[in-house]
Chain A
Amino acid sequence: MDGQVFLQHLTNGISLGSLYALLAIGYTMVYGILRLINFAHGDIFMFGTYMAYYAITSFMMPWWLSFIIAIMLTVIFGVMVERSAYKPLRNSPRISVMISAIGASFLIENIAIVVFGGRPKTFPVPEMFAKVLRFGEVSIVSVTLYTPVITLLLLGVLLYIVNKTKTGMAMRAVSKDYEAARLMGIDVNRIISFTFAIGSGLAAVGGIMWGMKYPTLLPLMGMMPGLKCFIAAVVGGIGDIRGAVLGGFILGLSEIMIIAFFPALTGYRDAIAFVLLIVILLVKPTGLMGQNLTEKV
């Protein structure tokens, strides 16, 4: 493999990795606070992509306006999912909440099949993101370059919110100890909704970028990326935002690189993430950056 081809794969890997990272942040934040795998997260991602699609094609809005509207609608949708599927079960056993999450995911997918239609739709990629840039022999679609930049920018904003603002402090408090946080006068439900809002917003950004990179929209498009991004969050250490980003990059890069170096394994692409998950869970169950939590009697 010569240098140029390698560089091409590298940019693709980084770009895919940053998409995974955007989704993984949502998983890791919700898990950090509720100890729940938000199975519907992949479907929220799908919802965001479809909203952007409809805003551009049906309502003829300029692309930047439709992206903003899509993100806002997805945020509202994500908070609605939390309010209707998870909030009533706040005090139930974890297994019930997880079954509810799986049920919510299937309900959204099935409604999407009815409402959006089962036929694939093509995402209208704006001119600015579809340009092909050439660096010598390497040609890169500009969205591939924008994605990591946007991801890192959003990561910076998010880290600022979590570490420097009062709401962020409350989020950290809820994730450390739910009951104690409530006793300290934190409105736990508001914080959880806020977490879902951030996670859904990032999922929408991820969905739109995904739509521009892989412009085929399907109602079930969120399923596989959803599972993989949860794996990315686990690999990085669940509950840790920087860990989720790291996990996303590791997963994206290894998927692209393994196939680039061993073309015979192309068919096994979807299995790579799961193998990575099982290896990580066996070797270091807390993930690369996770803290060790011991269960008390």
Chain B
Amino acid sequence: MKKHRVLTALAVVVIIGLLGVFNLTFDSYRLRILNLCGVYVVLGLSMNLINGFTGLFSLGHAGFMAIGAYVSSLMTMSPELKDTVFYAVPINPFVKAMSAPFPIALLMGGIAAGILGALIAAPILRLKDDYLAIATLGFSEIIRVVATNLQSITNGALGLKGIDRVTNTGWSWGIAILTIYFMKKLMDGSYGKAILAIREDEIAAEAMGISLFRHKMYSFAIGAFFAGIGGGLLAHMLGTIDPLMFRFILTFNILLIVVLGGIGSITGTVISACVVTSMMEVLRFLEGKMDFGFFEIQGIPGMRMVVFSALLMSVILWYPRGLMGTSEFNWDFILEKKYLKLFKKKKTVSEEK
């Protein structure tokens, strides 16, 4: 066990070192993708906690992210900036007075989303499966519609502009690593065991004395909290937010990450968050001109998303477990050289042929 801890510590140091090197060597475009990966790790994990580990199929992530993004941005924007941004409708004086440094603002955004998550959870956790999905989707749409209409607080459809772009590699990946650590601790503890039991069989879990409602609500609130943090990070990376950003498609992107990585796996989510985010950028070549030497293909706008949705569909249809299924990374797998054995076996088979 001790060996594992040393290895984990080493791995973390190596990863942080690598991130530091990336931070120094990457140009601003690549750096932005790297930071986006970190944000999506946080978002993917928060959705995996609700959808994957607890088994509550929630589609309300965009709403929680919107809360986190708006609360944190309104706190970091200076009163003068707010006055210039809110030119259509004068700003609410209380909102104008709100002010906090970035870390506290981010935390407040997360807490606001978490409280809302807990409040929403109280009534809708009585629902199940697809009813729960559609009700959470409904809540997220309501949040978006309210954000569009409460002009004195959110500046309506015009959105907030000129938010400080504070989110750098340190912030996004620092919080991502903290989130991974938190999720690991959570899932190893009794709480994690309890929610896994709920996912596997609610009635059996209840018979074992697990309070269904309490555990589901905690999971919902914690998931919403991290979604709010992720939203705040995203807002402080992009610099502008508006209600249209938080449509269902945003939830879908995160769902995609969770499904591809494996519903119920921390490792899978982390890997697929990075792969999906980078792939989204790599696939941009589909929309540009392609030169095959002797003939050219004119880029087709929108092709990127077609390829992406097709990819998701094929994973669901032919590989529904995703990358990792419910399994996690562990050192034994590497230390006992099981992966080498796998290779050896394959080799012998091919040699026999």
Contact = CB atoms under 8 A, between A and B. Distances in A.
To the question of whether A and B form a pair in one complex, the answer is: yes
Interface of A: 35-37, 85, 88-89, 92, 94-96, 98-100, 102-104, 106-107, 110-111, 113-114, 118, 223, 227, 230-231, 234, 267-268, 270-271, 273-275, 277-278, 281-282, 285, 297
Contact of B316 (A35, A103, A274): A103
Nearest to B308: A110
B325 interface: no
Given A96-B320, A231-B138, A234-B134, A103 B124 contact: no
A227 B135 contact: no
Given A94-B129, A227-B137, A282-B123, A107 B310 contact: yes
B143 to A, nearest CB: 9
A179 to B, nearest CB: 19
Given A111-B306, A277-B134, A271 B255 contact: no
B305 A110 contact: yes
Contacts of A88: 317
A268 B203 contact: no
20 contacts: A35-B130, A37-B130, A94-B129, A94-B130, A98-B129, A99-B316, A110-B308, A114-B300, A114-B302, A114-B303, A227-B134, A231-B134, A234-B131, A234-B134, A268-B146, A273-B138, A277-B138, A281-B131, A281-B135, A282-B123
Q: Report the interface size class on chain B.
A: 35 or more
A278 B60 CA distance: 14
Interface of B is mostly: helix
Contact of B130 (A98, A104, A271): A98
B139 A103 contact: no
B316 A96 contact: yes
A39 B172 CA distance: 33
A223 B247 CA distance: 11
B58 to A, nearest CB: 11
B145 interface: yes
Contacts of B249: 106
A71 B123 CA distance: 41
Contacts of A118: 301-302
Contacts of A274: 138-139, 141-142
B134 A114 contact: no
B222 to A, nearest CB: 20
Nearest to A31: B130
Contacts of B141: 227, 270-271, 274
A234 B141 CA distance: 17
A285 B245 CA distance: 31
Contacts of B127: 281, 285
A88 B142 CA distance: 34
A103 B142 contact: no
A106 to B, nearest CB: 5
A41 to B, nearest CB: 13
B123 A98 contact: no
